[in-house]
Amino acid sequence: MLASKAQIRLKSARDLEALRRSCRLAAETLLLAGDRLRVGMTTLEIDELVHGFIVDHGAYPSPLNYHGFPKSVCTSVNEVVCHGIPSRRRLRDGDIINIDVTCKLDGFHGDTSATFFVGTPSAEARHLVEVTRRCLEIGIEQVRPGRRIGEIGRVIEAYAVAQGCSVVRDFVGHGIGRDFHEGPQVPHFGDAGRGARMEPGMTFTIEPMINLGTWELEILEDGWTAVTKDRRLSAQFEHTLAVTETGCEVLTARSRPLRHSEPTDEPPARPATDPVSG
Ligand code: MF3
Ligand code: CO
Ligand code: CO
């Protein structure tokens, strides 16, 4: 996130209905992007795909013109931590790419991202992406009324560091609703005792950015692209959530696994004469 309006706005049941719809569209857009991802495509082609799908569904791609961001989606390749600008750069075999989709439908924003494998990943890329996916999952497991926001960052940081990775500190999760970025801020590091207590009706993202090397980053000349200082790989996953009476609802949950990112149910291809399967 960027500078956020600090206020935490609790959502009504009606607000939540609208948020669910925008979040469902964001999730479907991300599924589509995963389906279409190919070695050799440009990140501009991803932008066109995402833009078209969102607009065709009566929504607006929130990044477009947001504080001057020039495109409709963020595409962050390899050492790019976040806010990568779609361009004529072609994806190469072995790249990883985070695609961060945000759309505004009926006045509410839905925000979700994932890191995908382009072609065949290296062992270290696979490790980083699996650790990052798990960081988001364990962060989500902390969400319930009465807990402090700080619990989320505490478990994420502990796990990432135990896996030999580092947690980005310059960007955090954020409240979301009628504004793209609202309160609270949701750090992916730090002390459990910090931050607001979670309450039913709060809606925010968890979006850990996890690096193989240093957590430190630099912003490129374009004023947007954040890269790791050591140019080693960075990955990110993001969901938009609502705190419920009993726990948490993942508003950007997907109807199926993401292609080129998540393990799928599809059985691995086997030769016809495989003696095990007959
Ligand atoms: N989607 C990003 C987030 O998760 C924000 C992108 S801001 C943009 O908070 F301007 F770069 F699009
Ligand atoms: Co976000
Ligand atoms: Co996002």
pLDDT per residue as tens digits for the range 98-108: 999 999 999 99
The whole-number pLDDT of residue 181 equals 98
The whole-number pLDDT of residue 248 equals 98
pLDDT at 160 over 50: yes
Residue (of 63, 16, 56) closest to 32 by Cα position = 56
The CA distance from 247 to 207, in Å, is 18
Counting ligand 1 atoms within 8 A of each CB, the residue from 62, 80, 170, 234 with the most, and so the one to mutate, is 62
Return residues with CB closer than 5 A to ligand 3 (ion).
100, 111, 113, 238
Name the closest-CA residue to atom 3, ligand 1. Answer: 1
pLDDT at 148 over 60: yes
The CA distance from 120 to 253, in Å, is 26
Q: How confident is the model at residue 5 (pLDDT cuts 50, 70, 90)?
A: low
pTM as predicted:
0.94
Counting ligand 1 atoms within 8 A of each CB, the residue from 4, 54, 83 with the most, and so the one to mutate, is 83
Instruction: Give tens-digit pLDDT for 234-259.
Output: 999 999 999 999 999 999 999 999 99
Cβ–ligand 1 contact at 143 (below 6 Å): no
pLDDT at 215 over 70: yes
Instruction: Give tens-digit pLDDT for 220-233.
Output: 999 999 999 999 99
* Ligand 2 centroid, distance to 22 Cα (angstroms): 14
Return residues with CB closer than 5 A to ligand 2 (ion).
111, 205, 207
Instruction: Give tens-digit pLDDT for 76-104.
Output: 999 999 999 999 999 999 999 999 999 99
pLDDT at 14 over 60: yes
* Ligand 1 centroid, distance to 1 Cα (angstroms): 6
8 by DSSP, 3-state: which? strand
Query: Chain-wide mean pLDDT for the chain?
Result: 95
The whole-number pLDDT of residue 265 equals 63
Name the closest-CA residue to atom 4, ligand 1. Answer: 1
The CA distance from 57 to 105, in Å, is 9
